[in-house]
Amino acid sequence: MTTAERETETTEVDPTRRVTLKINGKAYKQDVEPRKLLAYAIRDTGLKGTHVGCDSSACGCCVVVLDGDTPVKSCTMFAVQAEGREITTVEGLGQTGALHPLQQAFWDQHGLQCGYCTPGMLMTSYAMLQHHSDPTDQEVREFLGGNLCRCTGYNNIVKAVQQAAQVLRDDKVNQLANAATGGNA
């Protein structure tokens, strides 16, 4: 390819498109090139909890949840593909002082060290618990098979997910009991 051809190719890149990303219940409008990866589009909104670690969909640091229950590596998807989908990032789970049971469990069980893989671990686990409220340790390990951790190993992460699963199951039972008894249980 000659330099002139390369230049032509470069200048013929598609124009940007306007997308609306619905993240944690809030709409963010953004002009993106069609090739822009969702991970970078999310980070450009100022939500920095979604991390990029490998550029090859191998590490899972960028996992977000689509439509409430589907974990997706946001570096595997273009931002334009996320139009109209509900995106949940780690910032949508819970905040300091009001942690989601998963965040609390990772804290209690020492399920993190440098914290870089943690948002992806949390989001994958969150999606799993929407489908499997009572997973075995092996099921947790397999579900987290696309998320790498370098500091902590996985023992404590599995323990944390199990703790959260238990808390969420108890919550459900309590809610049911409350509903059935009009809150007088």
Note the residues at the interface with other proteins (CB under 8 A). 3, 6-7, 10-11, 33, 35-36, 40, 43, 47-56, 58-59, 61, 89-91, 93-96, 99, 103, 106-108, 110, 112-119, 122, 140-142, 144-158
Q: Which residues contact 102 (CB under 8 A, 6 or more apart)?
A: 93, 122, 125, 126, 129, 160, 161, 164
Our CB check for other proteins shows the closer of 84 and 115 to be 115
φ, ψ of residue 130 to 5 degrees: the values are -70, -30
Min dist. Cβ of residue 24 to other proteins (A): 10
Min dist. Cβ of residue 159 to other proteins (A): 11
Min dist. Cβ of residue 185 to other proteins (A): 25
Our CB check for other proteins shows the closer of 66 and 161 to be 161
- Evaluate whether 163 touches 108 at the Cβ level (below 8 Å): yes
